[in-house]
Amino acid sequence: MALILGLREGDEFEVGADKFRVGEVLGKFKFTLVRATGRSSPSPRATSVEVADDVFITVALQPQNGVARVAIDAPRELPIKRPDYHRQEAAE
C-alpha cells in the first residue's frame, strides 16, 4: 500500500537516503519532481515511475489546485520522512 502525501511547490520528502523536492505543480495530475542531486524527474502520468530501487512515485487524485498528491510505494524498511516537519519539531 502506498503512502500519499499532499505537497506544495518546494516541499521536500525523503525515501531512505534519497531526497526529493516538488519542483512545479503544473495541473491537477502533473508535477515535476527534483532529486537532491539536481536532476529533474518528469511527473508520473497514469503509471508509476521508479525513482530509486523498488521506490515508485505515482500521481494520486488532487482535490486542490497547487497541491501535488504524491503516492510513494517503497519497501517497508525504507523510512519516508518530511524534513520540514522534523525541523519544526526540533525547534519547539
Q: Given this model, what pLDDT does residue 80 score?
A: 92
How would you label 20-57 residue by residue, b for 16+ Cβ within 10 Å and e otherwise? Answer: bbbbebeeeeebbbbeeeeeeeebbeeebeebeeebbb
Per-residue model confidence (pLDDT) at position 42: 60
Residues belonging to the chain = 92
Residue 61 pLDDT class (50, 70, 90 cuts): confident
Instruction: Tell me the per-residue pLDDT of 2-39, one tens digit each, with 9 for 90 and over.
Output: 899 999 999 999 998 889 998 888 877 788 888 887 76
Portion of the chain with pLDDT greater than 90, in percent:
23
Residue 62 near residue 43 (C-beta atoms within 8 A): no
